[in-house]
Structure 1
Amino acid sequence: MLEVLGLDQLAEALYLILVDNPPLSLRELCRRTDRGSDEVLVALAKLEDGGLISRVPGPSASFTALSPDHAMEALLLARERDIRRVRAMTEQLTARHREARRSRESAELIQVVTGCENVARFGQQLFARAQREIRGIDAPPYARSSDGELVDSVAAVTQRGLRSRFIRARDTLALPEAAKRMEFDVAAGEEVRILPTVPMKMVIADDQAALIPLQTNPKVMDACILVHPSALLDALSALFESLWNEGQPYLSWGERTDDLMSDEERRIISLLAAGFSDEAIARQLDLGYRTVQRRVQALLGQLGAVSRFQAGVLAANRGWWQPSSEGEGVGVPVDAGPTH
């Protein structure tokens, strides 16, 4: 679970041990993890650097877990700094794009697609031409053909076994039915990661082509750029991977393992980890705001969690949910024109 914060299996195991216990010595941590002192010290250094644990003064080295609320807040601030760097990279991409448009050579590497019908058609063709993987950033606005047909990769993915990875902005998931749609996609095999915001929308088929909006914030998806293999396509691919590494994996609610936990409660936990507010959860589940507040507090108490993030960690440890599947196909029933 904590791999999203850059922690490996040993570092996560050490942190959970320290969360559940008083300060422990290096020798005791080595004994509990059955690892050598050098290996454990490296993992502890990662936890210290991340602000998750601290050393306890004394004659011998011992370590204790810091409050998850404060520790996670520090990590979130670090993530925000990373997002700002990605935004700076986006500005560089925009400048490169403009320069490419002025170049005769670049005219052979990009193709401007105009009209809602053509945007939807090229988006569907991009899904169809992929042989290994589809990657994308999902964000409004969305486009569809005049007859209402959506750009849909479900058939291509399920029939041909493609891998599909999509990044979604947290605020867009608050739109009506968005969470249910995402659960459908994840159930079909999509890998989803969530960021507070995304700089743009796009879809990339293998490393052969990408489709991005022509305008930065268009009101209507009626003009896009098809990018062929080039330095620009390489940059878009690098941008996606950078954002993917920053994103939080979406955790799906699977088979019930505790008869005392209802499907509705499990969905609330899933949405909590995705960063939804109580108000957004209420809209997604068609519940009253105060009802959601009461159930969230009850779930925190049931799990023994002091924060919403910790509730997700504890629920995952108990097997109440699991990360979206890795390396499988994806259903993408979204009217997203070029980008999902």
Structure 2
Amino acid sequence: MPPEAPSLSSHLILLGLSPDAAVLYAELLTRPPEPLQARAGLFDGDEAGERLAAAAAGLVALGLVEATGSAGQPLVPVSPARSLELLGRLRTGEVDHAQIAVSGAYESFRRRKLSAIAGSAVEAVTGADAIEHRINEALEGARREIRMFDSPPYFRPVDLGTEQALRLFARGVGHRVVYSRASLEQPGNFSVNIEPCLQAGEQARFMEKVPVKVTLVDDDLALVSSSVEEADINLSLLLVRSGGLLSALSALFELMWEQAMPLEHRHPKLRSTAVLHPAERHILTLLLAGVSDNQIIRELGVSRRTFFRRMELLLAKAGATTRFQLAARARQYGWI
């Protein structure tokens, strides 16, 4: 059987009338006009009279019925259009207020929940000693692979990192590192720190600038360092253990790894056979100092054609296709 249609009283209650007022109003609409006392049997109990009077007063206040002024005269229903419009607006306001209250309560819950989740997934570490300890602890716990965006400034002496990396290589932990230009240009960094790792089996690539300083330990942990711009005023480290942020950092590394150029360790045969002429070494020195092509041409006193021909020879000797690659290879091969 189909469900029964809601009664008129139910509709009235939905609009905001009290249950007693809704019952009385429905009664007034279904029976001929009578004095209020004739409705005394509408409610049960010792307080039936008080309930009837309160219901009638409520209907009058809402404008749904009209009192004739005499105590014994009947209450007469009037057109409910204006009253229903007012009740509808009041009800809508109450619903809006309820929606805001419930939404606000849920938002508070969501923030607490996310804060609790973030608190367990991301940890901030400050202070040089604490950072050094957590970095060493995380790297020593590596089992399969360490992936890293490498760029100065560094939290600890880089030779300590090199020693640790060589120990991890001996344990069979692989390394993939993307170096920034600033890493390669750090005085002594390539020969003292980068090259030993390359010779030990590190897979390395380089790019102009890395997007973030991060070290990923297996697929379990990321160490996110202060940016180059922030390191001098905000010495801090984030440990990211799980969740979407860790996945995003891992995906970012893989994307940048595909875009970066391979970095190979110094090749003895190439170093001994690819000898630079003094003019080529002069050009290379000026290029690495940031001198423009026109200034180099004036410095050397050669034509543009001669200059670019020498540049082509330099690129060919280095096995490079861009000037940035040329600079990196020049450092690898000991030309500068």
TM value normalised by structure 1: 0.48
Structure number, greater radius of gyration: 2
- Greater relative contact order (Cα 8 A, min sep 6): structure 1 or 2? 1
